[in-house]
Amino acid sequence: MPQPSWKVNEIFYSIQGEGKHTGMPAVFVRLAGCSMNCPFCDTQYAAREGKETDSAHLLQTLAQWPAKTVIITGGEPAEQDLTGLIAVLKKAGYAVHLETNGSIDTDVSRADFVCVSPKKYVSPEMLKKADVIKIVVGQNTDLDDLQKYYAYENTHTQIYLQPESNKQENIDLCVKLLKNHPSARLSLQTHKLANIR
């Protein structure tokens, strides 16, 4: 019987550079493919490039590092068999974090942490499943549009505002917004500030 496989862009060991778990060592599994094509995307290469990787090779690769947390990112992970990937990782004893744009409503019930970063379209059902809703904020962001995401904030789901490209003007805008909505949080891309992958 063939092993399940996924189109993987890259696998690497680093620290989480943004959001709630900033500074945490983890292995990143970047899946290939994304149909959004956002102009500010900093991983556009992942939308096109990837290699078919079966579960045995994936687990063998992960085993070379001591971290027991895997962050599934992309591209857009939910464009592949995300449920099967989470199941494989959980069976192998990994904590699984997911970063998704939330455009595809998928079963993430076995994931330990789900970050939804809305782009052109987001499924309301995925917003309900999110532990964190991370909103990229730039000079072209429709600030009135942010209000709809605040409606999903509760004891389970936290809002993070992330300045596009760490630009100072976007940081200043996020700080202004946060002062008006103090239950939300700031997410800088600290891995870029520290010049690490």
Do residues 138 and 40 lie in contact, with contact meaning Cβ atoms separated by under 8 Å? Answer: yes
Mean local confidence (pLDDT), 15-39: 95
Catalytic site residue from 34, 53, 76, 100: 34
Could you tell me which CATH class the domain 5-193 is placed in?
Answer: alpha beta
Instruction: Quote the pLDDT of residue 45.
Output: 87
Mean per-residue pLDDT, 172-176: 98
Per-residue pLDDT averaged across 82-106, rounded?
Answer: 97
What's the predicted TM-score (pTM) here? 0.95
Give yes or no: 174 in active site: no
For residue 1, what pLDDT is reported?
A: 66
User: In sequence order, which residues have a C-beta less than 8 Å from that of residue 67 and are 6 or more positions away?
Assistant: 13, 25, 26, 27
Given 12, 43, 52, 181, the catalytic residue: 43
Nearest C-alpha neighbor of 82 from the set 122, 90, 155: 90
List the domain boundaries for the chain: 5-193
Which residue of the set 41, 57, 83, 141 is catalytic? 41
CA distance 90 to 181: 36
- Mean pLDDT for 140-168 is 94
Tell me if residue 41 is catalytic. Answer: yes
